[in-house]
Structure formats: structure tokens, C-alpha cells
Structure 1
Amino acid sequence: MSHNAAWSSHSHESSSYSSSHSSSASVSSESGMNFAIAGSTSLSREYYTSNKAHSFTWTNIPLNFQSQIAWFHKFLQSKGCSNAADARCKADIDNALFWLGALGVSDYFQIHSKSIVAMRGISQLCIHHTTQLLQTVLTEGAKHIVVQGLPPIGCFPVSISSCPPQQLDQMGCNSDINSAIDLHNKLLQKMIERFRRQFPQCTIIYANYWKAFLAIFNNPGNYNFKETKKACCGGGGGEFNFDRNSMRGTSGATKCSDPDSYISWDGIHLSGAMNKHLAELLLNKDYCEPPFSEMVNKKTSI
């Protein structure tokens, strides 16, 4: 599942996105555009620099969501659009699906060692920045938008492996991180409700990533998963197979023989099988609010 922003000008069956990194206006956008950045954060580079943040997942601090907004505007300019009412883009934007991914996941991975009070402050900052992103696409004329919540990353191997036993909840997950994520999602839903009132002509869906993840995590056998807290690819061994000094891609890392039976790919990213099941729940089951099918039916009836 994307942690960034994308748009698709086709139906919900389309999953092919072109790279937005090219400056060429000739890049095809018929199947959609993806403005994602690997490891992208909600909080600014300045925040991490001033707090002297060092991460086992970063070589350098990645670009944040502001770069995605800039790329989106640059893309519109490359199509010759001067503003939201410009006829050269209005039809495409009216017809497009905008999917705002789980913005903030990378931030919680980096600040997991902070106190719960500090994490709650970061939740509020992340929501403020997500608000800016949603405001941008709405101002540019978006009519069909999905805003994805965050999963309980306290249940990921990266979070559980470093968690003191007394901070584990009844599911065996990191309770401090999940408390911050829960607050984040509640704030996100309140923000979405404000935008729904402000833009009644638009359909804004909340994709309940938290609920969908736990539906699978707590019933793994129903989805053919055997390992819920252990990484498929890594060099840590033991209960979680996760070691920050021996992650996938390093000389000591190995891959499991059956990745589709693992929820986690490398302790941080989910497996392909998990992402497939999550997409099924979000797109075709009742894990979007309102259901994704309502947006599709409404759009096809126009």
C-alpha cells in the first residue's frame, strides 16, 4: 500500500502508475501518476535535522510531502494547466481518482523511541501536513478522493523487536506506538469530516487501514498466513527475524522459502500477499468509509 500520493484517471481496476520523477511533459499519464518518494516523511527535513535524527532506514533524510505537492503542481503545468478551472485539465481532474496514501508511517518508524507524549505531538503535526495535502488536491478540483489511515505499526517486527515486554499489549504489539497511531487516525477522520462539509460536491473516503490490517493479523489462517510477527527477509533470526544491523539487502540476510505465508516482508514493509489481501478488503469489502463501491457506483451513474 502506498504511503504517498497518487492519482489515476481510470477506473478502480487500474493499478499501473507512471513515474513522476521525469521532468518530461511527454510522460504518459493515461494510467495515472504516482508522486511517491521512498521513505518520504510528513515532518520536514528541518525537523529531523534540528532533532539530530539518525535512522537505520535512511542514508540521507528523504524528501517529505512538500516535494510531492511541488511535483503535482509541476505535472499540471506540464499539461498546460494554469489553474483548477482550466479546461485543458478540468475534465481529467474531475474524472480522476486521487489516493492519498498512509502519510506519516515513515515518521512513526523514526520516532518510535520517543515518549508517548512526544509521539502524540508528532501525530498532530502529521495531521496538519496531511491537511495541506488534501487541501491542495481539493483546491485543484479533485472530486473523488481516498485518504488512507495508518496501520497499527506497533504490530510490525521493527516495533515489537525493540519493545520492552511490559509495553506489549494483549496482541503482543507495541502499545505506545499503537496508541499514537490510534490518535493519528482519529484526528485524521475528524479532519476528513470537516473537508466533507466544506466540499459537499466531492466524495472523500476514509480507507480504514488499521481495521483491515487487524482483520488479517488477528485471523491469519483465514488468509493463509502462518507468520504474523516474523519477517520473511532478514538476518536477525529468532522470534522476529529482525535485526537493524542485518536487514534485507545486507550480506547476512536471507529470504524465507514461502513469502506468501508471511505478513511482513522485511520487518518494515508488508509482503506482497498481505498487500493483496489489504487491497481486497479496502476496495471490495466494507473497510472504507463510505464503501469504495459507493464511489464507483456514483461515478458510473453520472
Structure 2
Amino acid sequence: MTSFFFSPLIMKLPVLTLLSLSCFHFSHSFTPRYNSIFSFGNSLADTGNGLITSAQQSPGIGRLPYGMTFGRPTGRCSDGRLVIDFIAEAVGLPLLPPSLASDQDFRQGANFAVAGCTALDSAFWEQRGLAGIFGTNDSLGVQLQWFEQLKPSLCSTVRECKDYFGKSLFVLGEIGGNDYHLPLLANRTLEEVRTYVPYVIETISNTAEILINEGAVDLVLPGAPPSGCFGVLLTLLPSPNKQDYEPQTGCLKKLNALAMYHNELLRRAIGKLLSKYPGVRIIYADYYGPVIQFVQTPERFGFGNGALIACCGGGGPYNFNPQAWCAQPGATVCEEPSKSIYWDGIHLTEAAYRYIAPGWLSAWSHAKVH
């Protein structure tokens, strides 16, 4: 499924630790020690659930050029692998199957992420008159329910589950972008959307706490990327004022500020969790810093197709056209996705994800148990 959905009201977009500039390969000091990985989140982490649940709404993600670098479409919103894939490879585990796939063995992990999902559940959006703008109700709470349903096939007793999940890695995100961007595209003000951030962070924190009580001791909580650099938002939420754009990047200042606010609150929440649960290790995994570095100095990373220009799309200044999504009629694809930061106007290319993953792994290898 393309990580995007359409409705009569609005186009539904999934959305969507510092990177060591010298760390282009996985650190040799990182020793695999997990028996399984469990991943939650949106289209930045989805390895196929969105395609399974919403194939009729958005068939593009199930066909080329999605997956072209990987060799075939896989339900990932990219040309190839995601950060979660590189993490799995680094710790010696297979790529995570989507949790909704049939005939899969989930003993070594499962991916509950769904493209287009929100952190907040449908009740929150119904109270604000926004329930109709989302392409899926598979919120973080729903993903947690899927985890609970899967658990009996993984372990039987409380002690067995504590031991099993204590040897697992939990990756909780990225998630939250759709909670902000879709309401903005539905003409809600930035001031209103900013008030959603504490609710999103509380939901992420509560979910992490539930997983900790299930036995999780190693958790990765990714922050938000700089959404002011997304071609889709630059196209659909443009400003006539030049001062609203960052001079070094061309990204929208206010949207990047929103992402930074989310990340600030997430870091604080992680600090509180670490204080509450000694013996648990949690890292903040940075999406924002690496992507800003890519956009500011693309040539340093081998990106040469224009920092904000999508590899796959239907034209326009950022190669994003709401009438011609990637893999839809009228869209074209660049010859070398590895030269692009952005794949389709929101999601990154495999090349960009490949650079981000070592930064997370480096931060993880140096993290201490509190």
C-alpha cells in the first residue's frame, strides 16, 4: 500500500543519538545479543501490514517502483530496506515479518507497525471532529492489542514471558507524525495541532511502560524527522513568506519546530521512565539530526538529485504531485534512488535509512542500564 490514502475530505499521508558522520558502517563493537525484535510505528517502520490491511485503498505500494532497490515490492514505503531492517541485520536476526501476515513464525520477532497510523486512538479524533480524515484506525493502542494477542504463541507463564521479552529488543516508533500532519492538511491550525503533542508523548510513554511491565528491558524510542522538509507538506502547505523557510535547507520552519517540540517532550518522557524503572535501558533514536544533515550537505553523503526532491513522483518543485503519487499513472522514478534522500515526498530512500541506522546502533552500544 502506498503509505498514502485518499478520502473525500483529505489526502491521508502516513508519515511519517545524532548520526556519526564517520559511521557509515555498523559498529563492530555492537554485539548481537537479542533473540527477537518487536517493532511498532507507522510507515517509517511498516514492513507490510499496511499493504495487508489497505491494499484496495492504496495499491501502489504493492508494485514497482516501490521495492526496486530490494528487488521486489514488499509493502515497505521505500525503494528498499528501512532502519528497522538494518537493525535486525546488525543483530543477526531476519527481517521482521508484518504481524498480520499468515503462515509466519514470530519467535524471532514481529513488526506491528502500520502505514498511515496514529499514536492516538479513534476516540481522541472523534472528540475533535477529525475521525474521518484517517485512512486507518490501527493506532498504537491497536498495535499493542495485536502484541497481546500474539503473546500466547511466544510464551506461556509470567516468568517465561518476562525471560523471553527480557532478551528481546523493542522499537517503539517512529510514530506521531500522522497525528500532526493530517489535521494540518484538514485545515486545523498549527496552534491547535501543537496541543496534541503532549497526548501523543503520553501515549508513547504509557505504551513503553506497558511493555516494560511485560518484561521488556531494552527499548528504542525514535523521535520525529524534520517534517518541514517533506516534499508533500512543502507542496500542500506552502507559505508566501520567504522568511517562513529555513535559509540553509529550504524547509518550513514551523513544521520543523513542531517536530523538535515532539522530540523534546519525548526525551523528557524517556528520562522519567529511566528514573522509574532502574535496570531498564531506553534510548532516544534520532531521526531529526541525520536528515537535517543530509539536507544541509547532501553531497557529503553522496546525494545528488536535489536535497528535497523525491526520487519517485509526479512532478512539481519537489517531484510531488497529489494527482500522481509514486507508482501511480503519471509518476516517474529516478534512475539511482541511492542519489536521493527522499523516495516519494515523505519517506526516505534505503540509502538514507542505511546512514541513519549506524547512529542508532552506536548510541545503543554506548547506552548504560539505569
Match of 1:152 among 226, 232, 252: 226
Judged with a 3 Å threshold, the aligned counterparts in structure 2 of structure 1 residues 221 and 54 are, in CA distance, closer, same or farther, namely farther
Backbone CA RMSD of aligned residues: 2.6
Judged with a 3 Å threshold, the aligned counterparts in structure 2 of structure 1 residues 165 and 282 are, in CA distance, closer, same or farther, namely farther
Would you say the 8 A contact 1:147–1:204 is kept in 2? yes
After the TM superposition, which residues 48-197 of structure 1 pair with which residues of structure 2 at under 5 Å, given as runs? 48-49=125-126, 50-52=128-130, 60-82=135-157, 86-113=158-185, 114-161=188-235, 162-166=237-241, 167-170=244-247, 171-197=249-275
Judged with a 3 Å threshold, the aligned counterparts in structure 2 of structure 1 residues 139 and 110 are, in CA distance, closer, same or farther, namely same
Give TM-score, length-normalised by structure 1.
0.84
Work out the CA distance in 2 between the residues paired with 1:122 and 1:9: 32
Work out the CA distance in 1 between the residues paired with 2:366 and 2:94: 19
Which amino acid is the alignment partner of residue 197 of structure 2? S
- Percentage of pairs with the same residue: 29
Would you say the 8 A contact 1:96–1:142 is kept in 2? yes
Judged with a 3 Å threshold, the aligned counterparts in structure 2 of structure 1 residues 158 and 198 are, in CA distance, closer, same or farther, namely same
Give the equivalent residue in structure 1 for 2:287: 209
**Can you give the 5+ residue segments of structure 2 that lack an aligned partner in the other structure?**
1-15, 17-38, 46-83
Match of 2:317 among 239, 242, 245: 239
Work out the CA distance in 2 between the residues paired with 1:258 and 1:121: 40
Q: CA deviation at 1:129?
A: 1.2
Judged with a 3 Å threshold, the aligned counterparts in structure 2 of structure 1 residues 9 and 223 are, in CA distance, closer, same or farther, namely closer
Which amino acid is the alignment partner of residue 32 of structure 1? G
Q: How many residues align?
A: 282
Would you say the 8 A contact 1:263–1:273 is kept in 2? yes
Work out the CA distance in 1 between the residues paired with 2:310 and 2:240: 19
After the TM superposition, which residues 251-270 of structure 1 pair with which residues of structure 2 at under 5 Å, given as runs? 251-270=329-348
Judged with a 3 Å threshold, the aligned counterparts in structure 2 of structure 1 residues 266 and 118 are, in CA distance, closer, same or farther, namely same
Give the equivalent residue in structure 2 for 1:287: none
Judged with a 3 Å threshold, the aligned counterparts in structure 2 of structure 1 residues 240 and 23 are, in CA distance, closer, same or farther, namely closer
Where relative contact order (Cα < 8 A, 6+ residues apart) is larger, the structure is: 2
Q: CA deviation at 1:90?
A: 2.4
Match of 1:223 among 281, 290, 301: 301
Give the equivalent residue in structure 2 for 1:4: 41
The alignment partner of 2:307 has SS state of: strand
Q: CA deviation at 1:120?
A: 1.2
Say whether residues 1:281 and 2:353 are aligned partners.
no
Work out the CA distance in 2 between the residues paired with 1:195 and 1:40: 24
Q: CA deviation at 1:53?
A: 5.6
Of the structure 1 ranges 177-186 and 213-222, higher mean CA displacement relative to structure 2 is found in: 213-222
